[in-house]
Amino acid sequence: MKFLLDDLKNKQLLTDNLQQKLDSYSVFEETMAEHFHVNTPLLESTSMSKLAGTPVYLKMENSQPSGSFKIRGIGHLCQQLASQSRGVVCSSGGNAGMAAAYVARKMGVPATIIVPSSTPQLVVQRLQDETATVKIVGKVWDDANAEALRLAETEGLIYVPPFDHPLLWQGHASVITEVAASLGPSVKPGAVLVSVGGGGLLCGVVQGLKDAGWNDVPIIAMETVGADCFNAAVKAGRVVTLDDITSEAKCLGAKTVCKKAFEYSQSSEVTIISEVVTDQQALNAVQRFLDEERVLVEMACGAALAAIYSGLTLRLQDEGRLSPLSGPLLVIVCGGSGINMEQLTKLKHKLQP
């Protein structure tokens, strides 16, 4: 009888221990859930520094969960708006959807992601692996977005925009806050290189620079020909809508840039230099980055990398459009999940001159 009692006591002790462990894990999960993004590495690239004639620092957003910087803003937005919701619906060229699907899964909320038909199958698969419901609607992101807005209305879902929302910009701004913490008080970037799709990352970077007291750091905003709604707006002096997206950098493929990004381009409080590269230059940059840094990113990200590989940053300085750099060049390596060796080979064949 005593044995039996001891045995029972031991079992109770074990159960209590297990419960304590589980409780501490859920506390851990809750702490983790303060934000969904991670603090990414800031790496100095020797080969890019050599090319650019100045130290080049890479902010490795490709190493975020979900594969891109998008999780910063979308994680922040979902935390504010979606925790008690019936579900979220996000329109995306791919990466905003990946972030929304990941965050929703972590929050225990259903996610519906609407992507255009130009989205590679590998992204659709990755979204489904994140347990999201995927709907393919229209040819370009703008078509998919119309459907997402409709679903939000009819199904009572929280609409998660990929680039046009102050909460997204606030979340994205953390990328610069982290850089400031990594560089320390005595170093300030000479310029920041970013890719622009709908302009959400650009708005976040502007906000981050302002928060860090780095308003005087110029931004070089990169797009590809055929996905250049920001450049078109800057040239026209007003927000314009492109007829079509003809670039293969589909994740830069919004036909209209968000109003805030355009307003920043007109404002005297920040300097934004808008530049475009060809698809071929963006793809070459992706390949070179893979060879030299051993990291595979989307063409959307290749657009920013191409500014260094194609000698653009040097040219801008020669032309006097970019003042001599007073600090390292900071490249936001925005990443992207819509790429693997098969997709890279397809793009190479498609864009072969």
Residues that bind ligand PLV (CB under 6 A): 68, 70, 92-96, 141, 162-163, 195-202, 251-254, 298, 300-301, 334-336
Q: How far is the CB of 298 from ligand PLV (least distance, A)?
A: 5
Q: Give, for 113, the enclosing helix (H) or strand (E).
A: strand 111-115
How crowded is the C-beta side of 158, counted as CA atoms within 13 Å?
A: 20
Q: How far is the CB of 14 from ligand PLV (least distance, A)?
A: 47
Q: Give, for 193, the enclosing helix (H) or strand (E).
A: strand 191-195
Q: How far is the CB of 22 from ligand PLV (least distance, A)?
A: 36
User: CB-wise, 56 or 140, nearer to ligand PLV?
Assistant: 140
* Residue 137 neighbours by CB distance under 10 Å: 17
* Cα–Cα distance measured from residue 82 to residue 341, given in angstroms and rounded to the nearest whole number: 35
Q: Which residues contact 142 (CB under 8 A, 6 or more apart)?
A: 254, 255, 256
* Cα–Cα distance measured from residue 135 to residue 322, given in angstroms and rounded to the nearest whole number: 43
User: CB-wise, 141 or 264, nearer to ligand PLV?
Assistant: 141
Q: How far is the CB of 84 from ligand PLV (least distance, A)?
A: 25
* Phi, psi of 221, deg, nearest 5: -100, 115
User: CB-wise, 54 or 228, nearer to ligand PLV?
Assistant: 228
Q: How far is the CB of 203 from ligand PLV (least distance, A)?
A: 8
User: CB-wise, 303 or 325, nearer to ligand PLV?
Assistant: 303
* Cα–Cα distance measured from residue 199 to residue 33, given in angstroms and rounded to the nearest whole number: 26
User: CB-wise, 304 or 325, nearer to ligand PLV?
Assistant: 304
